Amino acid sequence: MVHIVEVSPRDGLQNESTPVSTAVKVDLVLQAAAAGLTRIEVTSFVSPKAVPQMADAEAVLAGVRERLGPSPVELSAVALNARGIDRAVAAGVDAVTFVMLATEEFNQRNQGCSRAESMRTWQASARRLRERGLRSTFMLGASFGCPFSGEVAPGDVLDLVQEALEAGPDEIALADTIGCGVPTQVTDLFGGIRELAGGEVPMRVHLHNTRNAGYANAFAAVAAGVTALDASIGGIGGCPFAPAATGNIATEDLAWMLGRAGVDDSVSVSGTIGAARLLAGNGVGTSAMLGRAAPFPADKPFPADKPSPAGSPLPSQQPVPAGRPGAGDRT
């Protein structure tokens, strides 16, 4: 089973220069959940000076909790340092994605510290999260190329992943932060991780479509054994600290492709298109194609697009079992 991790409330909005209200962010999360997305990255706990759009992190999470109620949806957040971890835990997240960068220069620019310092923070944080019963993901950004240092050696990526595995993460993720990766890199890197972890640790990928290879990379990731794919409703997103890092692959486009290929049809394509319209109606530009060209075949909806049971505010879902994929001051 492949899961889509919805990242529009966090990575999608963090690059927006015009403030997006807390209420709209909460509505976006709720619409994503109603569309069948069971893993949603709600926010990031970072410095509001560095990323003003994430200044209301606690308020967004609280608003979602209040309106969503009991639900199998996993609400996660990103953190880059110990302070971010503390804030995420205090706010009541279900899971934390800890992010560091694959190159020394980018990590210094983004996190304000060395890779060695970030790795030590991760090692300590993973233990703390495990003790609190929270899921942890280690994500290595710029794994496919760095905007400052250029090419990233696969051996460097795998060395960092091997070190991160020592802390016992629930999931290992690689991010193509600037959208420069190609399918052969995806195949090779995740093949290497599978060997390092003995196939025991679920793998996740975070893709940007900057150079129009994002969806090819997504399919290559599935073929390589990746079970969680990050995507953003409307194809919005980018990194404020990476030049020309444009949007993520779009949730609606990815969901249609996976459903059409028979890989996963659990996400409502029409529901994600509706959520993209919410963004567009609030001044957020979208680039997804499914909002422009209707899904094909138009008269044959996927199972997730069939009407939900009467009176049910969310699609019928099963809780994510334990162990299954699903279940700082700067960014």
The 10 Å CB-count burial string (b at 16+, else e) for 4-33 is bbbbbbbbbbbbbeeebebebbbbbbbbbb
Nearest to 124 by CA among 84, 71, 155, 172: 84
Q: Which tokens is 215 given?
A: 């969806």
Q: 307: exposed, middle or buried (C-beta count within 10 Å: 0-12, 13-18, 19+)?
A: exposed
Instruction: Estimate to the nearest angstrom the gap between the alpha carbon of 248 and the chain centroid.
Output: 9
Q: Please name the residue that has the structure tokens 């025991």.
A: 200
Per the rule left: phi > 0, alpha: psi between -120 and 50, beta: everything else, 222 is: alpha
Contact criterion met (CB below 8 Å) for 287 and 231: no
Active site residue 146: no
| Bridge-based pairing state of the strands 135-141 and 171-176 | parallel
Catalytic residue among 113, 146, 180, 239: 239
Distance CA 221, CA 30 (A): 28
With a CB cutoff of 8 Å and minimum separation 6, the contacts of 248 are 7, 8, 11, 12, 206, 207, 208, 209, 214, 230, 231, 232, 235, 236, 237
Residues serving a catalytic function are 239
